[in-house]
Amino acid sequence: MAKDKQRLIALQKQLGIARAALLRIEHYSRDPHSVAYNALEEMNRIEWNSKPTPILAAHEEERR
């Protein structure tokens, strides 16, 4: 259950980043590509950190 909660929090953070990027593009940005790129990089970092690595997942599966 803790992993599900962590995953939901990660998804909420990603949604916030996407929304902020879209608002910046709509209202302020002269370079929407860089805003989108930076938002995607930040979202990917959160995504990667919220999922277990294959080695960790295998280790957890062995413990069960």
Q: What is the pTM assigned to this prediction? A: 0.73
The answer for residues whose C-beta is within 8 angstroms of residue 44's C-beta and 6 or more apart is none
Number of domains in the chain: 1
39: nearest Cα among 10, 18, 12:
18
Element (H, E) at 8: helix 2-27
Exposed/middle/buried for residue 29 (C-beta within 10 Å: 0-12, 13-18, 19+): middle
Which residue numbers in the chain have pLDDT < 50? none
How confident is the model at residue 29, as a pLDDT?
81
What is the model's pLDDT at position 21? 97
pLDDT at 63: 59
Domain that holds residue 24: 2-63
